[in-house]
Homo-oligomer: A and B are copies of this chain.
Amino acid sequence: MPFANAFMERFGLSIPIIQAPMLGAVDSRIVTAVSSTGAMGTLAAGALPPPVILEEVADLKKQGKPFGANLLVVPKVDPDSETVDHAVHRLAKWRMEFGLPEEFRPNRWSEDFRAQLDALVEAAPPAVSFTFDLISREDIAAFQKRGTYVMGTATDVREARAWAQAGADAIIAQGYEAGGHHGAFLSDGNDRAVGTFALVPAIRAVTDLPVIAAGGIMDGAGIAAALLLGADAVQMGTAFLLTPESIISQPWRKALENAPDDATRLTRVYSGRYARGIENKFMREFRPTEKDIPAYPVQNALTGELRRISGQAGSSDALSLWAGQGVNAIREMPAADLVRVLWDETREALVLMHKRMG
């Protein structure tokens, strides 16, 4: 009998791997590729307007494979003009260096989360996941009534308990090693971060819900290790960044391919929220003042154009080079092939270790 658990059975998965939502790095094509293998792709819907959410989820549903859609739980903000002026002024030198007008103020700070959420309930994908904050018990129940499975991202035990109490179906345990934005909402996501190796068993110990391990998982041995620590499945992001389905810019790609030892750090300089990426000039320059930077989504909106232009100009200096601590183990391979290789490796690693135990 093949490997199975309640989480996998719910979706008919044969491979307990979820491809992580990665805004700006992948689109719905990778979801299709991953979901075709018996694993689960995730649509990164955080930046999509409600009509596009409806459309993309409907398209994916037509393919008849299990998949998830992820939203970032972003509050409506109304920052005072002094805060904004200061943040805008801080970026002026960088913008001019890339040939952009000195000042930039976006029309709005983010998509309307409430409208996105309502669209996603209506779209009713097989699964949804949420990052950056809790959603309400009522909103979770609304998804469940439509047959949608709800996963909440937790970076520590208290956050896992909060999702369980709100009625979530599963917990994504996002460890300190993870690339990109961290989902912390009861801490600032830096000083109180928990490593994957401690986080997965700690969350496993306080809930009967399926636990999905994320952060630092790059190969089959890592998947086997996560399953041993108590995970029901793993969520992997960085591992997929060099697939042909990835839409990252050339300088980001190059930075991943040539990452030196110990390349990544947590930073809030790009978005106002802690995220992990390969350290570059922009990160180093703003590190000493990073606590003064306005919170997400304000800084995120202010740096968006600069990051895009840096990528287009072939420079990694002002680009958010999101990557997890396992970046040096990244492989270049089509997403569907990678999933199959990963699962073969997982089984081989366990067979070999079992043999060594005599």
A contacts, CB < 8 Å to B: 1-4, 156-158, 161, 175-177, 187, 191-199, 201-202, 205-206, 215-219, 221-222, 224-230, 261-262, 265-266, 324-326, 328-329, 346-347, 349-351, 353-354, 356-358
Looking at the complex, which one of B229, B329, B358 makes contact with A225 (CB distance below 8 Å)?
B229
Q: In the docked arrangement, what's the CA distance between A175 and B217, Å?
A: 15
Q: In the docked arrangement, what's the CA distance between A26 and B254, Å?
A: 49
Looking at the complex, which one of B205, B227, B326, B351 makes contact with A201 (CB distance below 8 Å)?
B326
Q: In the docked arrangement, what's the CA distance between A230 and B218, Å?
A: 13
Chain B residues with CB below 8 A from A227, complex form: 353
Q: Tell whether A353 pairs with B202 under 8 Å between CB atoms, given A192-B265, A195-B175, A325-B195.
A: no
User: What are 28 A-B pairs at a CB distance below 8 A?
Assistant: A3-B358, A4-B356, A156-B261, A156-B262, A157-B328, A175-B195, A176-B193, A192-B265, A194-B262, A194-B325, A195-B215, A195-B216, A197-B217, A197-B226, A198-B216, A198-B325, A201-B221, A201-B329, A202-B326, A205-B328, A224-B225, A224-B228, A225-B226, A228-B228, A228-B349, A228-B353, A350-B350, A353-B354
Chain B residues with CB below 8 A from A216, complex form: 195, 197-198
Give how many copies assemble into the complex: 2
The residue on B at minimum CB distance from A1 is: B358
Looking at the complex, which one of B329, B350, B358 makes contact with A353 (CB distance below 8 Å)?
B350
Task: Tell me the minimal C-beta distance from A61 to chain B in angstroms.
Answer: 31
Q: In the docked arrangement, what's the CA distance between A353 and B161, Å?
A: 26
Chain B residues with CB below 8 A from A224, complex form: 225, 228, 353
Contact B161 A198 (CB under 8 A): no
